[in-house]
Amino acid sequence: MLHRNSVNDAYRETLRRLHGSQVFDTEIPHAAAFKEAISERKPLVNYKPRVKGSKLIAALGEEIEQRAAAVSGGKVAA
C-alpha cells in the first residue's frame, strides 16, 4: 500500500507530465488550519493570516494574476 504522500507525489508528477506548464507552481499542502477556518466560516487568510497556508494562498493568487496578465498582454481586471 502506498503512503498518502507517495500517492500525492505520484499524482503531482502525473499532472505535470500530462499538462506541463499549465499546472500551477504553487503547492498548498493539507493543514488543520483549513478545517478550523471552515468551522469558523471564515476564509483562512482572515482566520489565520500568518499561517503558511494563508501565505501560500496569497502566492497562488499572485501566480494566477501573473499568468492572466501574460495571456491577456498585461491587461487584468483588479
Under the banding of pLDDT at 50, 70 and 90, the label for residue 73 is confident
Confidence class of residue 5 from pLDDT cuts 50, 70 and 90?
confident
Burial class (CB in 10 A: 0-12, 13-18, 19+), 54: buried
How far is residue 1's CA from residue 69's CA, in Å, rounded to a whole number?
A: 43
- 55: its cell numbers: 501565505
| Residue 77 located in a structural domain | no
Q: Is the pLDDT of residue 1 over 60?
A: no
In a domain, 42, yes or no: yes
Answer whether residue 46 is part of any domain.
yes
Polymer length of the chain: 78
Distance between CA atoms of residues 67 and 31, nearest Å: 26
How many domains does one find in the chain?
A: 1
* Domain annotation covers residue 63: yes
**Domain contains 59:** yes
Task: Determine how many CB atoms are found less than 10 A away from the CB of residue 41.
Answer: 7
Q: Is residue 8 part of a domain?
A: yes
Residues 36-51: tens digit of each pLDDT:
999 999 999 999 999 9
Give the domain extent around 49.
4-72
17 pLDDT more than 50: yes
